[in-house]
Homo-oligomer: A and B are copies of this chain.
Amino acid sequence: MTTVLIVDDQPMQRFGFRMLLESQDDMTVAGEAANGAEAVRLVSELRPDVALMDIRMPGLDGIEATRRIVAAGDRTRVLILTTFDLDEYAYAGLRAGASGFLVKDAQPEELLAGIRAVASGDAVVAPSLTRRLLDAYAEKLPAPGETDALAQDARLAQLTDREREILTVIGQGWTNTEIAERFHLAESTVKTHVGRILAKTGSRDRVQAVILAYDTKLVKPS
Protein backbone atom coordinates (compact mmCIF):
# COMPACT_ATOMS: atom_id res chain seq x y z
CA MET A 1 0.00 0.00 0.00
CA THR A 2 1.40 3.35 -1.06
CA THR A 3 0.75 6.20 1.34
CA VAL A 4 0.53 9.66 -0.14
CA LEU A 5 0.61 13.13 1.38
CA ILE A 6 -1.21 15.75 -0.68
CA VAL A 7 0.31 19.21 -0.57
CA ASP A 8 -1.63 22.01 -2.24
CA ASP A 9 -2.99 25.32 -1.08
CA GLN A 10 -6.23 24.91 -3.00
CA PRO A 11 -8.80 22.79 -1.15
CA MET A 12 -10.60 21.76 -4.32
CA GLN A 13 -7.37 20.63 -5.90
CA ARG A 14 -6.63 18.50 -2.83
CA PHE A 15 -10.10 17.07 -2.98
CA GLY A 16 -9.63 16.07 -6.58
CA PHE A 17 -6.38 14.32 -5.87
CA ARG A 18 -7.87 12.59 -2.85
CA MET A 19 -10.76 11.24 -4.87
CA LEU A 20 -8.41 9.94 -7.53
CA LEU A 21 -6.04 8.30 -5.09
CA GLU A 22 -8.74 6.79 -2.91
CA SER A 23 -10.24 5.14 -5.98
CA GLN A 24 -7.10 3.03 -6.24
CA ASP A 25 -6.91 -0.01 -4.01
CA ASP A 26 -3.14 0.14 -3.68
CA MET A 27 -3.05 3.73 -2.50
CA THR A 28 -4.18 5.66 0.50
CA VAL A 29 -4.03 9.33 1.42
CA ALA A 30 -1.96 9.74 4.56
CA GLY A 31 -2.89 13.38 4.97
CA GLU A 32 -3.14 16.82 3.43
CA ALA A 33 -1.10 19.97 3.80
CA ALA A 34 -1.97 23.46 2.58
CA ASN A 35 1.52 24.94 2.59
CA GLY A 36 5.18 24.02 2.69
CA ALA A 37 5.74 24.29 6.40
CA GLU A 38 2.82 22.02 7.11
CA ALA A 39 4.12 19.60 4.51
CA VAL A 40 7.53 19.36 6.14
CA ARG A 41 5.94 18.76 9.51
CA LEU A 42 3.50 16.13 8.26
CA VAL A 43 6.14 14.26 6.33
CA SER A 44 8.25 13.77 9.43
CA GLU A 45 5.16 12.84 11.39
CA LEU A 46 3.33 10.58 8.94
CA ARG A 47 6.31 9.37 6.93
CA PRO A 48 4.31 8.82 3.73
CA ASP A 49 5.84 7.01 0.77
CA VAL A 50 5.18 9.92 -1.55
CA ALA A 51 4.51 13.61 -1.13
CA LEU A 52 2.48 15.09 -3.99
CA MET A 53 3.86 18.60 -3.95
CA ASP A 54 2.41 21.74 -5.48
CA ILE A 55 4.94 24.51 -6.09
CA ARG A 56 3.09 27.77 -5.76
CA MET A 57 1.93 28.07 -2.18
CA PRO A 58 1.75 30.90 0.34
CA GLY A 59 4.58 30.95 2.85
CA LEU A 60 7.07 28.14 2.33
CA ASP A 61 6.83 27.11 -1.31
CA GLY A 62 7.05 23.61 -2.70
CA ILE A 63 10.67 23.87 -3.75
CA GLU A 64 11.92 24.88 -0.35
CA ALA A 65 9.68 22.32 1.31
CA THR A 66 11.13 19.66 -0.97
CA ARG A 67 14.65 20.72 -0.09
CA ARG A 68 13.95 20.39 3.62
CA ILE A 69 12.23 17.05 3.29
CA VAL A 70 15.12 15.64 1.29
CA ALA A 71 17.67 17.18 3.63
CA ALA A 72 15.92 15.58 6.59
CA GLY A 73 16.79 12.23 5.11
CA ASP A 74 13.24 10.96 5.29
CA ARG A 75 12.41 8.09 3.02
CA THR A 76 9.54 10.08 1.57
CA ARG A 77 9.88 10.74 -2.16
CA VAL A 78 8.68 14.05 -3.47
CA LEU A 79 6.72 14.21 -6.70
CA ILE A 80 6.30 17.78 -7.82
CA LEU A 81 3.12 18.79 -9.59
CA THR A 82 2.59 22.15 -11.14
CA THR A 83 0.24 23.81 -13.56
CA PHE A 84 2.83 24.90 -16.08
CA ASP A 85 5.94 23.07 -17.08
CA LEU A 86 8.16 26.06 -16.63
CA ASP A 87 11.79 25.21 -16.78
CA GLU A 88 12.81 27.17 -13.75
CA TYR A 89 10.38 25.29 -11.58
CA ALA A 90 11.45 21.95 -12.88
CA TYR A 91 15.13 22.62 -12.54
CA ALA A 92 14.71 24.07 -9.09
CA GLY A 93 12.63 21.08 -8.06
CA LEU A 94 15.13 18.59 -9.36
CA ARG A 95 17.96 20.45 -7.70
CA ALA A 96 16.00 20.35 -4.48
CA GLY A 97 16.01 16.59 -4.70
CA ALA A 98 12.55 15.77 -6.00
CA SER A 99 12.04 12.31 -7.47
CA GLY A 100 9.73 13.52 -10.14
CA PHE A 101 8.08 16.38 -11.90
CA LEU A 102 4.70 16.23 -13.62
CA VAL A 103 2.21 18.75 -14.92
CA LYS A 104 -1.26 18.83 -13.42
CA ASP A 105 -3.04 18.48 -16.72
CA ALA A 106 -1.53 15.02 -17.18
CA GLN A 107 -3.92 12.13 -17.63
CA PRO A 108 -4.97 10.54 -14.31
CA GLU A 109 -3.33 7.29 -15.38
CA GLU A 110 -0.06 9.07 -15.96
CA LEU A 111 -0.28 10.66 -12.56
CA LEU A 112 -0.99 7.36 -10.86
CA ALA A 113 1.77 5.64 -12.79
CA GLY A 114 4.09 8.43 -11.74
CA ILE A 115 3.22 8.00 -8.09
CA ARG A 116 3.80 4.25 -8.27
CA ALA A 117 7.12 4.72 -10.03
CA VAL A 118 8.32 7.24 -7.49
CA ALA A 119 7.17 5.09 -4.60
CA SER A 120 9.23 2.18 -5.88
CA GLY A 121 12.37 4.26 -6.07
CA ASP A 122 12.20 5.27 -9.69
CA ALA A 123 11.88 8.77 -10.99
CA VAL A 124 9.50 10.38 -13.43
CA VAL A 125 9.66 13.52 -15.47
CA ALA A 126 7.06 15.09 -17.70
CA PRO A 127 7.76 14.17 -21.33
CA SER A 128 8.01 17.81 -22.31
CA LEU A 129 10.91 18.21 -19.95
CA THR A 130 12.61 14.91 -20.60
CA ARG A 131 13.88 16.18 -23.92
CA ARG A 132 15.88 18.94 -22.32
CA LEU A 133 17.03 16.61 -19.61
CA LEU A 134 18.40 14.24 -22.20
CA ASP A 135 20.18 16.99 -24.06
CA ALA A 136 21.86 18.16 -20.90
CA TYR A 137 22.69 14.61 -19.99
CA ALA A 138 24.21 13.87 -23.37
CA GLU A 139 26.67 16.70 -22.85
CA LYS A 140 27.70 15.19 -19.58
CA LEU A 141 28.36 11.75 -20.97
CA PRO A 142 32.03 10.79 -21.02
CA ALA A 143 32.12 10.79 -24.85
CA PRO A 144 31.37 8.18 -27.47
CA GLY A 145 34.87 6.80 -27.34
CA GLU A 146 35.90 5.15 -24.14
CA THR A 147 34.69 5.41 -20.60
CA ASP A 148 36.99 7.90 -18.98
CA ALA A 149 40.52 7.12 -17.98
CA LEU A 150 39.38 4.31 -15.79
CA ALA A 151 41.19 4.05 -12.51
CA GLN A 152 43.67 1.25 -12.96
CA ASP A 153 44.42 -0.11 -9.56
CA ALA A 154 45.30 -3.70 -8.90
CA ARG A 155 42.55 -3.93 -6.31
CA LEU A 156 39.93 -2.44 -8.60
CA ALA A 157 40.99 -4.60 -11.49
CA GLN A 158 39.77 -7.72 -9.69
CA LEU A 159 36.23 -6.40 -9.54
CA THR A 160 33.56 -7.34 -12.03
CA ASP A 161 31.72 -4.59 -13.89
CA ARG A 162 28.75 -4.92 -11.62
CA GLU A 163 30.90 -4.73 -8.52
CA ARG A 164 32.70 -1.65 -9.80
CA GLU A 165 29.35 -0.08 -10.53
CA ILE A 166 28.20 -0.73 -7.00
CA LEU A 167 31.46 0.45 -5.48
CA THR A 168 30.94 3.71 -7.32
CA VAL A 169 27.63 4.41 -5.66
CA ILE A 170 28.95 3.24 -2.31
CA GLY A 171 31.54 5.95 -2.85
CA GLN A 172 28.68 8.38 -3.31
CA GLY A 173 27.29 7.50 0.07
CA TRP A 174 24.40 5.25 -0.89
CA THR A 175 23.18 2.79 1.72
CA ASN A 176 22.51 -0.83 0.87
CA THR A 177 18.80 -0.10 0.96
CA GLU A 178 19.14 2.74 -1.52
CA ILE A 179 21.29 0.68 -3.83
CA ALA A 180 18.71 -2.10 -3.74
CA GLU A 181 15.86 0.29 -4.52
CA ARG A 182 17.49 2.23 -7.29
CA PHE A 183 19.06 -0.79 -8.94
CA HIS A 184 15.95 -2.91 -8.41
CA LEU A 185 17.76 -5.59 -6.46
CA ALA A 186 17.06 -7.39 -3.23
CA GLU A 187 19.01 -6.06 -0.29
CA SER A 188 20.51 -9.49 0.17
CA THR A 189 21.93 -9.27 -3.33
CA VAL A 190 23.45 -5.91 -2.57
CA LYS A 191 24.99 -7.33 0.58
CA THR A 192 26.48 -10.17 -1.40
CA HIS A 193 28.04 -7.74 -3.83
CA VAL A 194 29.31 -5.48 -1.08
CA GLY A 195 30.80 -8.44 0.75
CA ARG A 196 32.70 -9.51 -2.32
CA ILE A 197 33.88 -5.98 -3.01
CA LEU A 198 35.25 -5.70 0.51
CA ALA A 199 36.95 -9.08 0.26
CA LYS A 200 38.53 -8.36 -3.11
CA THR A 201 39.72 -4.88 -2.23
CA GLY A 202 40.88 -5.83 1.24
CA SER A 203 38.61 -3.26 2.81
CA ARG A 204 37.36 -3.79 6.33
CA ASP A 205 34.06 -1.98 5.85
CA ARG A 206 32.31 0.29 3.40
CA VAL A 207 34.05 3.34 4.84
CA GLN A 208 37.41 2.02 3.70
CA ALA A 209 35.83 1.13 0.38
CA VAL A 210 34.74 4.75 -0.01
CA ILE A 211 38.28 5.89 0.72
CA LEU A 212 39.59 3.45 -1.85
CA ALA A 213 37.10 4.73 -4.39
CA TYR A 214 38.32 8.27 -3.87
CA ASP A 215 42.00 7.38 -3.80
CA THR A 216 41.73 5.50 -7.08
CA LYS A 217 39.68 8.29 -8.64
CA LEU A 218 36.83 5.86 -9.25
CA VAL A 219 34.79 8.54 -7.52
CA LYS A 220 35.86 12.12 -7.88
CA PRO A 221 35.36 14.92 -5.40
CA SER A 222 32.34 17.05 -6.20
Give A contacts to B, CB under 8 Å. Answer: 71, 73, 87, 91-92, 94-95, 97, 99, 107, 109-110, 113, 117, 121-125, 127-128, 130-134, 136-141, 143-144, 165, 170-173, 175, 182, 184, 202, 204-208, 210-211, 214-215, 217, 221-222
Contact = CB atoms under 8 A, between A and B. Distances in A.
B221 A95 contact: no
Contacts of A208: 173
A133 B140 CA distance: 10
B138 A95 contact: yes
A127 B137 contact: no
A137 B139 contact: no
- Give how many copies assemble into the complex: 2
B140 A130 contact: no
Contacts of A175: 204-205, 207
Nearest to A149: B222
Nearest to A118: B127
A141 B171 contact: no
